[in-house]
Amino acid sequence: AITPPIIAAIAKKNPSREFETKFILQSYQLGMAMRKGQPELMAAVNGWIKTNLANGKLNEIHLKYAGVPIPQEIIDGAK
């Protein structure tokens, strides 16, 4: 099991090798923590996530850094 960014780094150093994802063993959810008692901050962060999930920007960012799109179960859970 290996992550897409690691596969990309290996492929970059070995351009003659071709790698293909056969199946995904596990995906996991990440979250953010913030202090209690900051409803404005939570609303701003949640609003940013909702807006950028809807317009596709969050998926672009995730794809750029994780090498894969946001899993559909994460998108469905955010609705």
DSSP structure class, residue 71: P
List pLDDT tens digits, range 26-68. Answer: 777 778 899 999 999 999 999 999 999 999 999 999 988 888 8
Q: pLDDT category, 1, cuts 50, 70, 90?
A: low
> Which is higher by pLDDT, 38 or 22?
38
Number of domains the chain contains: 1
d(CA 68, CA 62): 7
Which residue spans within the chain are E strands per DSSP? none
pLDDT of residue 52: 95
Whole domain around residue 43: which residue ranges?
A: 4-78
d(CA 49, CA 46): 5
